[in-house]
Amino acid sequence: MGPRACQRLVPSPLSKPVRCWPEGSLDGAIALQRQLTINDRDWHAFKTQRPRRGAEQLAAALVLLLRADDPGSPQPTVARLQAIELVEHGLGWLKAELSDPGCPSHRPAPAPSPAAD
């Protein structure tokens, strides 16, 4: 199922219009997120650029929010909560609290545990 189309009500004294995201905002956010995505071929070249990884996460959060959140909902939606997690993750990169953990294939093998006697 695709994203819900937002219905705009004709304003009247007794009804409030449903608030929607501005037209074209999702398409713009998707285009930005695609430009900022670090694919697996580029990861090694950009892994030390924390702001770039942060920007990628923030753009992904924006896409998620615009695609699946209802801006008129007073209660946090699942999409809104997931977007918050991505924003916090992006902030971790921007604040240099996160760094590349390295590729599993490039990590040394763990030392064998001592044998039990």
Residue 10: inside a domain: no
User: Is residue 8 one of the residues assigned to a domain?
Assistant: no
* pLDDT confidence tier of residue 100, bands split at 50, 70 and 90: confident
Residue type for 95, please?
K
Q: Confidence class of residue 97 from pLDDT cuts 50, 70 and 90? A: very high
Q: Is 12 among the domain residues?
A: no
- pLDDT per position as a tens digit, 40-76: 888 888 888 999 999 999 999 999 999 999 888 899 9
Number of folded domains that form the chain:
1
Side chain identity, residue 48:
T
In a domain, 27, yes or no: no
Q: Residue 46 belongs to what domain range? A: 32-100
CA 33 vs CA 1, 22, 58, 115: distances in Å: 22, 17, 9, 50
d(CA 98, CA 106): 19
Q: What is the pLDDT of residue 17?
A: 47
pLDDT bracket for residue 9 (50, 70, 90): very low
Q: Give 26 or 104, the one with higher predicted confidence.
A: 26
pTM of the model: 0.72
Burial tier of 77 (Cβ tally within 10 Å: 0-12, 13-18, 19+)? middle
Give the residue-averaged pLDDT of 12-40.
82
Both ends of the chain: CA-CA distance in Å? 59
Q: Do residues 83 and 61 lie in contact, with contact meaning Cβ atoms separated by under 8 Å? A: yes
108 is a domain residue: no
d(CA 98, CA 109): 23
Residue 58, pLDDT score: 97
